[in-house]
Structures are given as C-alpha cells and as structure tokens.
Amino acid sequence: MEYTQLGKTGLQVSRFCLGTMNFGNRTPEDESHEIMDKALELGFNFFDTANIYGAPRRSGATETVVGNWLAKGDGRRERIVLATKVYNAMGEGPNDRGLSAYHIRKACEDSLRRLQTDHIDLYQMHHIHRDTPPEEIWQAMEQLVREGKIVYVGSSNFPGWHIAQMCETASKRNFLGLVSEQCPYSLAQRTVELEVLPAAKTYGLAVIPWSPLEGGLLGGMAKAETEGARRTTGNVQKKFEKHRDKVEKYETFCDELGHRPAHVALAWLLAHPAITSPIIGPRTMEQLAESLPALEIALDDETLKRLDEIWPGPGGPAPEAYSW
C-alpha cells in the first residue's frame, strides 16, 4: 500500500480509502469485521463511514458495526484515520438534520457513541446546507476541535463555489477550515473537473472520489452481460444502455492493455495529481482483494489520451471548458 498526505495537512493516508456503506446493510456484521481486519492487514489506514449508512435507515447501523470492530482493541483505533459524516436526517424532528450548530453537536456526540471512540479524525459535511450561515457551521466545528472530539473537517458533494465560501470564511476566523472534499468522480462522471477540482487545488484540499467505478458501469458490465453473468436494474442499467457504445469500446481497450476494466478505472484516478484516495466500498472479501492490482498499474500518456477519447471530460476547468 502507498500513502500520501491528506491535502494541505501533514496526515498520511492510504491511497485507497475503505468505504463502509455496505456494512450492516448488504454485508453482515461478522463479514464486515473480517473485511476491516483484512483491509488493515493490507495497509489501508483510511476508513470512511457516515451516520446515515446502514439499515434500518437513521439507526446509525454502519457506525455501530465499525464501532464494535474498533472495540475489539489490539490497536485498531490507533492504526486508522477514521472519517464519518453529518448532515442527513437522523430523526423525525425539524432539527434532526442539516448543519445547524445544534444538529452538528448532537450528531457528533451520537457518532462518537456508536463508533465507541473519543474522537473523529475527519468530520465531513455530507452536503451543503444553504440555510445555515458558514459562520455558524465553523463555530460548531471549532468548538468540537477545542474539545478534542474532531481533528479535521471535510466536505462532501460541495460545488466549487461553496468550497471557496467555506474556506474563505474559515480563514477569516483563523481556522484551518476544510482539508478534503469527497465527491463523485470517475472516467464516466467528470463534472467535478469544471469547478470542484480547481477549487480543491487552490485551497489545498484532498480529493476523495466516491463511486470510482460509477456503480459498476466501469467494472466490466458489457462482458458480464454477454456471458450472462450479470443482471442489473435501475439507474445502473439505464446508464449502461445510455453509454453502451462507450462501455464496449472501453472494455475492448482494457483487453488490449491486458488489464481488467475496474483496475484501469481505479488506476486512472490514482494517476490524477489532484486525487488523494479513491473510496473502495466492498461488499465481500473478494471485492476488497480485487481492487489492489490497480495500485501496480502505471498508465502512460498515450493510454490516458485514449481513455479521454473514450470517456471525454467537460473540456477541463471552467470557464475555458465552455467559454473563450
């Protein structure tokens, strides 16, 4: 496993981040613990979760699974950088959601209890909350830092404008502010290249892509369909039908390279200078192991150019992407 700095901080994190969305939901707790044990053994030191993950909804089930794993001891907590999130509704009350100082305080306390730890290393805002002033958000986060309950603050699914707004407001308060942005980014979903990646670069934020395989679209869907090995429904199937021609060209090119489509998609992200740690969210032990070969793949300029031709981005950063 390779390691890199988390944005402008001195913190070292693994090039792959272990996503836990499936734990306590599609993956039973005992299997989830085995996957986390294996990830730790493989060198993963960056674990990501959220209070809204798991079933039943709003129960904090995934945080509970992670907390039970941490409670086993043997230095688990000290060996990982633990990230979770706040924003989504965790109750029926009008203040059981969002980014008010009221909700941030309560949500953090609840996450700490479920995670069975005294601090969260990276506390991420799961979405922008336009009804809450940035000053109120930072007041709440600053208090949590003073109390030792969180170490760093990150954003998730923020547009470039709100990244800039939050960073400038934090600077005026002499606070470190945002250190990371977690966003959807893959060969098939490159919108963040317009505004988010330039903003992250300017303010020194780590970029943590989620859904690096675009829900499986980049994982070999065309071949699996041909072999009758995969049946998909819903949004992923719609995306596949919409992009079938690109997917087939992509998989053919991956065959020429001698690598699996999923590995090429991950290697493409790892090759991007703006990217810190793509999130790997395995359902099974096999899926965890299957991601690792991507770390060994080096894509040359000609390969990157060909991938751009198959999966064209928006044209680079704004405004040059759409204006003179």
- Calculate the alpha carbon distances from 148 to 31, 152, 165, 311 in Å: 32, 10, 25, 44
Residue type, 5: Q
Evaluate whether 272 touches 307 at the Cβ level (below 8 Å).
Answer: no
Helical H runs in the chain? 29-42, 61-70, 76-79, 101-115, 134-146, 160-172, 196-203, 221-226, 234-242, 244-257, 261-271, 285-291, 301-310
Q: Are 99 and 154 in contact (CB under 8 A)?
A: no
How far apart are the C-alpha atoms of 23 and 282, rounded to whole Å? 9
What distances in angstroms separate CA 233 from CA 121, 237, 263, 291, one per listed residue? 37, 5, 23, 23
53 is annotated as an active-site residue: yes
Candidate list 53, 123, 152, 250, residue with the active-site label: 53
Active-site positions read 53
